[in-house]
Amino acid sequence: MSAVDAHLPQLWAMIIAFAALLYVMLDGFDLGVGILFGTTDDEDFRRTMMNAVAPVWDGNETWLIFVGANLYGGFPIVYSILLPAFYLPVTVLLVALILRGVAFEFRYKTQRFRWVWDWGFFLGSLAAAFVQGAAVGAIVDGIPVADGRFAGTPFGWVSAFALACGVGLVMGYMLIGAAWLVLKTEGPLRDWAYNRILPLGAGLLLFLVVAFGYALTEDLRVMHRWLERPWLLTFPLIGGVATLGLLAGLRRRADWVPFTAIACIFLAAFGTMAGSFWPYMIPFSVTIDEAASPLASLSFLFWGAGVVVMPIVLAYTVAVYWVFRGKVSDDAAYH
């Protein structure tokens, strides 16, 4: 067994974590734009908002399937526990993603029923963000597991903390969505987006501090982890520095700063959470090693998909973002 083989489960868990972080940043901004879309009825704003995410939303959303499929292949136990545990929220998520996904095409195919797809785009984005946040909250709260299988009830995931996390993620996605609009648009829409960053950012920060405090006080195991691993404090520190950077960027109106800073805040929040639970994939019942597929499955994924395909994927993802760099202009739309 080579050195790599011995650490394949941890390595693969890190790749999944990386993909999940990429997902919340990337689909986060286009879901956020979808939610902001519902808060204005200015058709020019709405059209530009849609154009700002239209070329990339599909690729962004694929990272969610990436996480799902890699859990299925690398950690089937986690996959087969989490999805039954969140049966109803997952149903809501899928219906929401369907409604918002078709809106990109459908709203330009009709005048009379455009409102249907506009509502679908807004509510779909909102519901998708909310259930994702609620699910993360419920995982932090703990999921009943017996014999490697989910052992709870259909509404077992509901708790005040989970619902609060849903609201928190909606705010987070709106925030990064507004930052994306600042980055990609000009004129009145950019100003409109700038004005939303401060209140949303304040709300998110408040939520993060309260949620972190709650997790520390409610669950002593989390507290111990932080006392044992003080280096974990790097993550909140990154968040703090990024917040200061965000404030400075807002003052100077440097369009690239808010998105970068908020992406760093996302990284900080994500790292704080992952660090609190590592090596548990479902706290505190299933660890990475317990859930991992046999070596034959993981090394098949690692050497082919991880070593060969993944760098190619990252390269063309960056290339396509580069192709669509700069402010969106209406003439680039194909409709």
Count H helices, E strands: the chain? 15, 4
Applying CB under 8 A, which of residues 29, 79, 266, 270 lies at the interface with another protein?
79
Nearer to another protein, 26 or 208 (CB): 26
Interface characters, 238-267, with another protein (x: CB under 8 A): ------------------------------
**Nearest to 79, CA basis, from 69, 87, 89:** 69
Contact between 17 and another protein by CB under 8 A: the answer reads no
- Cα–Cα distance list, 98 to 104, 282, 300 (Å): 11, 28, 32
For residue 131, give every residue at least 6 positions away whose Cβ sits within 8 Å of its Cβ, in sequence order, or none. 86, 89, 90, 92, 93, 96, 166
Q: Are 292 and 11 in contact (CB under 8 A)?
A: no
Structure tokens at 17: 């974590």
- Cα–Cα distance list, 258 to 117, 203, 279, 292 (Å): 30, 16, 32, 38
Nearer to another protein, 284 or 303 (CB): 303
Q: Is the dihedral of CA 324, 328, 329, 333 positive or negative?
A: positive
CA end-to-end distance (rounded Å), the chain: 55
Nearer to another protein, 151 or 164 (CB): 151
Q: How far is the CB of 325 from another protein (least distance, A)?
A: 9
Contact between 54 and another protein by CB under 8 A: the answer reads yes
Cα radius of gyration (the chain): 20
Which 299-328 positions form the footprint of another protein (CB under 8 A)?
300-301, 304-305, 309-310, 313, 316-317, 320, 323-324
Which 110-129 positions form the footprint of another protein (CB under 8 A)?
110-111, 113
> What does 287-312 look like in DSSP terms, one character per residue?
EHHHHPPPHHHHHHIIIIIIIIIHHH
- B/e letters for 28-64, b = 16+ CB within 10 Å, e = fewer, are bbbbbbbbbbbeeeeeebbbbbbbbbbbbbebbbbbb
Applying CB under 8 A, which of residues 56, 162, 175, 246 lies at the interface with another protein?
56
Contact between 142 and another protein by CB under 8 A: the answer reads no
Q: Are strands 286-287 and 280-282 parallel, antiparallel or unpaired?
A: antiparallel
Nearer to another protein, 71 or 208 (CB): 71
Q: Which stretch binds another protein (CB under 8 A): 33-41, 87-95, 209-217, 254-262?
A: 87-95
Q: Which stretch binds another protein (CB under 8 A): 144-152, 179-187, 197-205, 241-249?
A: 144-152
Nearer to another protein, 80 or 159 (CB): 80
Nearer to another protein, 149 or 229 (CB): 149
Contact between 154 and another protein by CB under 8 A: the answer reads yes
Q: Is the dihedral of CA 237, 243, 244, 245 positive or negative?
A: positive
Interface characters, 274-303, with another protein (x: CB under 8 A): -------------------xx-xx--xx--
Q: How far is the CB of 264 from another protein (least distance, A)?
A: 24
Applying CB under 8 A, which of residues 17, 22, 95, 167 lies at the interface with another protein?
95
Applying CB under 8 A, which of residues 14, 17, 38, 101 lies at the interface with another protein?
101
